[in-house]
Structure 1
């Protein structure tokens, strides 16, 4: 058992503690307020204490790991260990009273994700993975689907600051023509992880979205998914596109995205 796998039970306990605390504070009623400022204020009321608890608990689990200085996680260093976390992953859904939100925790070592936990309390979903140790959903090992693209559920999303909306739009058109269905099922991290468990066959996205992609990328890869950029090169923290796909559909997905340019 490698050292990162040994941390999984502790990190899972942290995710559960934070997630259950947030569930208790969630009323199920959409947050009121007519403008962006009021929405941000409502979110900060629940996010701030949850982040503080995450930092306290994870600091005790891995004292030498630092905390990513921004939520998007773009400042992850090339050396050393960094926690990249989102206490309320799926903030829009949380504030709207929808169940598709969760706690995401990733430990990054030397610019690669080595441990990931995703806990969605209201969906009863717990994904865990450690580098070289496989991926699990609610304690059971998972693997990808074996569908063709014509029978596939393809998912996509948009990062907070998407600088390539034209490519995203063109890729959506292309995928709609080739895949069985295209959907957005909630938080990006959860959709990517669901590629690993076979609930989703492919997830793709244009733009840099490191925080949301890190946990799912490890879970999907450990479950046997192919994780690349839109050109087929291995995905890295500075990549400007992302694809996680079952091996059976990855080649077809690359064909669709190559036509986008």
Structure 2
């Protein structure tokens, strides 16, 4: 092996070790934030009008960010922070934290169990590290690019189903106030999948469905959205588990994609055939 190859190998090993150490720090920070969010949870909803709902959502976000933002930025000096968790599209070059302090916030404030804390590192617009923590079950999903996806340290694998007519699939809206055109596409896609798949789930948030795709419990998930914070964690987990992630036309997915599709490998072509006509 040449000196140049030896140097490149050493650099890759050092970068790999740094990312492993970073994942450990991020996991600890996200779990601490999750403990705080769990303290704020009550199965007694008791909410009234929209103003109360919005107030509670912002209060959860602020509380969690108060214990999560500083540790993540300190763990990776020079990294950036994306302030708007509902934003989409490409980011400037460099390393960016995409965080949802209460993924499924609407469920949390209504006393339901499907919520989590997520943190994903994006490097030059590619997700390279993610942690998803579910405080109520104490489950932690992690992934590093090229290293696989894990639940509490156990390797994740996608479903081995080969036919869409046996598949459990899901979708949902990305945020309140989507356009009427997006709602039309969601409705048309649900109808199409009800005809072609076994069972269709329509729920929020996206991450709580995508972890099931990564773990082989669900077989496909799609969404007509480019909201980064709802897709990046799950996208990396699905890809690293061995699943397939594209847009609904079957093209490679990235932060500029208009929509999103994650499937078990053998179901991808069928899912694209069902969803691609819905434009």
Task: Report the counterpart of residue 27 of structure 1 in structure 2.
Answer: 42
Task: State the 1:81 CA deviation.
Answer: 0.4
Task: Report the counterpart of residue 223 of structure 2 in structure 1.
Answer: 205
Q: Which moved more, 1:111-120 or 1:164-173?
A: 164-173
- Superposed CA RMSD in Å reads 1.5
Partner Cα separation in structure 2 for residue 138 and residue 184 of structure 1: 27
Q: Which moved more, 1:97-106 or 1:180-189?
A: 180-189
Instruction: Answer yes or no: is the 8 Å Cα contact 1:81–1:109 preserved in 2.
Output: yes
Partner Cα separation in structure 2 for residue 69 and residue 235 of structure 1: 23
Distance change in 2, residues 1:260/1:186 (3 Å): closer
Task: Report the counterpart of residue 190 of structure 1 in structure 2.
Answer: 208
Task: Report the counterpart of residue 168 of structure 2 in structure 1.
Answer: 153
Instruction: Answer yes or no: is the 8 Å Cα contact 2:89–2:226 preserved in 1.
Output: no
Partner Cα separation in structure 2 for residue 191 and residue 42 of structure 1: 24
Task: Report the counterpart of residue 220 of structure 1 in structure 2.
Answer: 238
Instruction: Answer yes or no: is the 8 Å Cα contact 1:5–1:115 preserved in 2.
Output: no
Partner Cα separation in structure 1 for residue 245 and residue 44 of structure 2: 37
Task: State the 1:76 CA deviation.
Answer: 5.1
Instruction: Answer yes or no: is the 8 Å Cα contact 2:35–2:135 preserved in 1.
Output: yes
Q: Which moved more, 1:207-216 or 1:242-251?
A: 207-216
Partner Cα separation in structure 2 for residue 12 and residue 185 of structure 1: 26
Task: State the 1:258 CA deviation.
Answer: 2.6
Task: Report the counterpart of residue 20 of structure 2 in structure 1.
Answer: 5
Task: State the 1:189 CA deviation.
Answer: 1.3
Partner Cα separation in structure 2 for residue 157 and residue 127 of structure 1: 21
Structure 2 residue runs without a partner (length 5+): 1-12
TM-score by length of 2: 0.89
Task: Report the counterpart of residue 112 of structure 2 in structure 1.
Answer: 98
Instruction: Answer yes or no: is the 8 Å Cα contact 2:57–2:106 preserved in 1.
Output: no
Secondary structure, counterpart of 1:118 in structure 2: strand
TM-score by length of 1: 0.95
Task: State the 1:88 CA deviation.
Answer: 0.7
Instruction: Answer yes or no: is the 8 Å Cα contact 2:172–2:186 preserved in 1.
Output: no
Task: State the 1:40 CA deviation.
Answer: 1.3
Instruction: Answer yes or no: is the 8 Å Cα contact 2:90–2:256 preserved in 1.
Output: no
Corresponding pairs, count: 260
Provide Cα deviations, 1:54-109, integer angstroms capped at 9, x if missing partner: 11111221121110021124365231000000111101110011111010100000
Structure 1 residue runs without a partner (length 5+): none
Q: Any residues of structure 2 matched to 1:1-261 within 5 Å, and which? A: 2=16, 3-33=18-48, 35-74=49-88, 77-147=91-161, 148-160=163-175, 161-163=177-179, 164-261=182-279
Partner Cα separation in structure 2 for residue 112 and residue 141 of structure 1: 22
Partner Cα separation in structure 2 for residue 9 and residue 53 of structure 1: 16
Provide Cα deviations, 1:186-228, integer angstroms capped at 9, x if missing partner: 4211211221110110001112221100110001000111100
